[in-house]
Amino acid sequence: MTRLRAAAALAATAMSLSVAAPAQAYPVDCAILLCLAGGWPASTECAHARTVFIARITPWPVEPPLQIWNCPMRASFRGEAKPIERLFDIAVRGETAPLISVPKTPWAPQLVQDRADVDISDPAFDFVRSIRVFEITYQQRRNSDGDCNSWGAVYMGTYGAQGDYSRRRSSISAVPTASDLTVPADCRSYWHRSVFVEWRDYEGSYGHEEVHY
């Protein structure tokens, strides 16, 4: 029940963004973090956050769709608030603060490149680590000798324990079934090129988008 109440609060906070703070009053990645967690609720800010999220995987280049290191969760530190609560504060108060000038706290933040500026290893942030980005290229055709020739390349981007993003070589078999990739069994001519992103929100509900090019 605690997790369910937290999820409801998170979704409510995301939905209230449009009335809680003026547009652009907070880093867009804070909005992406909140709106993604809340299942992309309907609001002007969440619509903009989702647009940015998808635009980042639209070639070229392909970027991390959530750049959590650009959301200064320590900027609104109050007492011993958890990272999720700090994120609520950023959204509700509409505060912005450059990562190079955050307020001093009893636990001074150690700012690092390309990862969250607070500990997000708690399971509450599993929705960040659920994001996977697949860069997919596949083609096949039958040559003049009747042989079936195929070629494919897949790169997968994932998030680590602290929101750090990495990209590595993967395989066609690893592409989620929700993708439009459908390799014909009869070796007819086929071409597919896309970037596919999938995620789960705070409550575990599945979502995905695919950009073809």
Q: Count structural domains, the chain.
A: 2
Q: Are residues 92 and 29 part of one domain?
A: yes
Whether residue 149 sits in one domain with residue 95:
no
Confidence of residue 87 (pLDDT cuts 50, 70, 90): low
More confident residue, 27 or 66: 66
Please report which confidence band the pLDDT of residue 89 belongs to, taking 50, 70 and 90 as the band edges: low
pTM for the complete prediction? 0.77
Q: Residue 11: which domain range?
A: 2-128
Task: Say how many Å lie between the first and final Cα of the chain, rounded.
Answer: 43
Shared-domain flag, residues 56 and 138 = no
Q: CA–CA separation, 45 vs 16, rounded Å?
A: 9
Model pLDDT for residues 101-122, shown as the tens digit of each residue: 333 333 333 344 688 888 889 8
Number of H helices, E strands in the chain: 6, 5
| Structure tokens, 208 | 């995905």
The two tokens of residue 51 are: 């647009």
Is the pLDDT score of 33 beyond 60? yes
What are the residue ranges of helices labelled H in the chain?
Answer: 2-15, 17-20, 28-37, 44-55, 83-93, 126-129
Residue keyed to tokens 């055709």? 141
For residue 77, the model assigns a pLDDT of 45
Are residues 174 and 123 both part of a single domain? no
